[in-house]
């Protein structure tokens, strides 16, 4: 399953709630203000580092560079990669 | 007692809130010089250097912060605790600001007659 998070972990609870539902072999994609989660080494980034290795973490590169940020955890995907991820995973849920 | 305090707490580009707050600050500066701007929480992300929001269809309004000086907006405060919590250091910011602790920010805000928390 692909989980999509699009709001800052400092502003909403979507990040925390997603992490309580995530399972091995799932993936998380951070877009819009959600990219704050992987961009600097704060407490939420530490939560991501503690996840099972089978959980892949992606961040939308257009949203990172728009904000003057760079991804510190997981890998970058561009818009084409975003489409690729939605095809690759049989299920997707957006947390907000 | 100071005049007006603008408190901006939203990250840029996810919504128009941060840009519209900046517009309100600039508009107010035409009427009074007695105003202060406080960046709190995710609002500190607005001040990061090297933003390139054109590719997501957003305007690079961060460049306009450099004009604050020209508009005589000089009382600009950033919450040091918000920066620390987010792993950002002061050298990554676009303009010269005064970094204060959360306690100092609170005390400073309370010195204003009108407070706009946006």
Instruction: Report how far residue B114's alpha carbon sits from residue A83's, in angstroms, rounded to the nearest whole number.
Output: 47
- Residue B30 neighbours by CB under 8 Å, 6+ apart: none
Residue B118 has pLDDT above 90, yes or no: no
pLDDT tens-digit map of B25-47 = 999 999 999 999 999 999 999 99
- Residue B16 contacts A where some CB pair is shorter than 8 Å: no
Residues in chain B with CB shorter than 8 Å from the CB of A36 are 11, 42, 45, 86
What is this model's ipTM?
A: 0.80
- Residue A80 contacts B where some CB pair is shorter than 8 Å: no
Q: Which residue among B55, B86, B87 sits closest to A66, beta carbon to beta carbon? A: B55
Q: Which residue among B12, B51, B87 sits closest to A40, beta carbon to beta carbon? A: B87
Mutate which of B8, B9, B13, B14 to test chain A, going by most A C-beta atoms within 10 A? B14
Nearest residue on chain A to B93, alpha-carbon basis? A68
Residues in chain A with CB shorter than 8 Å from the CB of B102 are none
Task: Kindly list the domain boundaries of chain B, sorted by start residue.
Answer: 2-117
pLDDT at position A35 is: 98
Residues in chain B with CB shorter than 8 Å from the CB of A78 are none
Contact A36, A64 (CB under 8 A): no
φ/ψ (deg, to 5) at B105: -60, -45
Residues in chain B with CB shorter than 8 Å from the CB of A31 are none
Residue B72, Ramachandran bin (φ over 0: left; ψ between -120 and 50: alpha; else beta): left
pLDDT tens-digit map of B40-99 = 999 999 999 999 999 999 999 999 999 999 999 999 999 999 999 999 999 999 999 999
DSSP codes joined into one string, A3-20: EEE-S-TTT-SHHHHHHH
pLDDT at position B15 is: 96
Q: Which fold has domain B2-117?
A: Hypothetical Protein Ychn; Chain: A, (3.40.1260)
May I ask the CATH class of domain A2-94? alpha beta
Task: Quote the tokens at residue B56.
Answer: 């997501």
Q: Which residue has the tokens 């959600």?
A: A34
- Residue A65 contacts B where some CB pair is shorter than 8 Å: yes
Local confidence band at B24 (pLDDT 50, 70, 90 cut-offs): very high
Nearest residue on chain A to B12, alpha-carbon basis? A67
- Residue B58 contacts A where some CB pair is shorter than 8 Å: yes
Tens digits of pLDDT across chain A (96 residues)? 999 999 999 999 999 999 999 999 999 999 999 999 999 999 999 999 999 999 999 999 999 999 999 999 999 999 999 999 999 999 999 999
Report the run of H or E that residue A87 belongs to, with start and end. helix A79-88
Residue B107 has pLDDT above 90, yes or no: yes
pLDDT at position A4 is: 97
């Amino acid at each position: 399953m692909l989980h999509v998070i699009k709001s800052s972990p400092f502003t909403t609870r979507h990040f925390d709630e997603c992490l309580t539902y995530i399972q091995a072999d799932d993936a998380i994609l951070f877009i819009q203000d959600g990219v704050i989660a992987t961009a600097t080494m704060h407490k939420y980034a530490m939560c991501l580092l503690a996840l099972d290795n089978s959980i892949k973490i992606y961040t939308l590169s257009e949203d990172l560079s728009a904000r003057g940020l760079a991804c510190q955890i997981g890998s970058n995907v561009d818009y084409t990669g975003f489409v690729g991820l939605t095809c690759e995973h049989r299920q997707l849920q957006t947390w907000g | 007692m100071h005049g007006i305090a603008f408190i901006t707490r939203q990250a840029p580009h996810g919504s128009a809130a941060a840009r519209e707050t900046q517009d309100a600050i600039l508009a107010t500066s035409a009427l009074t010089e007695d105003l202060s701007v406080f960046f709190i929480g995710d609002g500190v992300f607005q001040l990061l250097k090297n933003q390139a929001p054109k590719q997501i269809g957003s305007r690079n309004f961060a460049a306009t912060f450099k004009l604050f000086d020209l508009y005589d907006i000089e009382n600009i405060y950033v919450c040091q605790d918000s920066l620390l919590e987010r792993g950002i250091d002061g050298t990554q910011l676009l303009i010269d600001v005064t970094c204060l602790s959360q306690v100092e920010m609170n005390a400073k805000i309370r010195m204003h007659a009108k407070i706009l928390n946006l």
